[in-house]
Amino acid sequence: AQKITQTQPGMFVQEKEAVTLDCTYDTSDQSYGLFWYKQPSSGEMIFLIYQGSYDEQNATEGRYSLNFQKARKSANLVISASQLGDSAMYFCAMRGRLGVQGAQKLVFGQGTRLTINP
């Protein structure tokens, strides 16, 4: 079975500082993918960044980067130069190997509530 663990229920960071959100995972699949989503108070889940298990380089998307350490089974999200608008819930998720009919399943962690202080 796959499992995602996010050990930080909440984090408070000063504006413009960098922040790291932790995520560890457990899977027996050799091929898998890791995702980070942002959920503002409006409720919509916004995709941020993706890392494939065979990707040799850490994924980056603008101010977001994923610190992928395969041996440690961790996939931490790093947000550089944080902004007030970054305040939200952040969820780490993973997909395992594709299902028989090709539709992937995502397993989510419990999330981290990030608050950016001015």
Partner 1 sequence: ETGVTQTPRHLVMGMTNKKSLKCEQHLGHNAMYWYKQSAKKPLELMFVYNFKEQTENNSVPSRFSPECPNSSHLFLHLHTLQPEDSALYLCASGEQGREQFFGPGTRLTVL
Site string for partner 1, 51-80 (x = CB under 8 A): ------------------------------
Nearer to partner 1, 12 or 54 (CB): 54
Task: Assess 1 for contact with partner 1 (CB under 8 A).
Answer: no
> CA distances (Å), 80 to each of 1, 7, 9, 104, in order?
33, 20, 20, 30
8 Å CB contact between 89 and 39: yes
Residue 42, H or E segment: none
Site size for partner 1, by CB under 8 A? 28
Q: Interface with partner 1 by CB under 8 A: which range of 16-24, 43-51, 64-72, 76-84?
A: 43-51
Task: Assess 41 for contact with partner 1 (CB under 8 A).
Answer: no
Cα pseudo-dihedral 66, 69, 70, 71, rounded to 10: -170
Residues 85-114 interacting with partner 1 (rule: CB under 8 A)? 91, 93, 95, 98-111
Q: What are the residues whose beta carbons fall under 8 Å from the beta carbon of 5, sequence distance 6 or more?
A: 23, 24, 25, 26, 109
**Sites of contact with partner 1 (CB under 8 A):** 4, 33, 35, 37, 42-47, 50, 91, 93, 95, 98-111
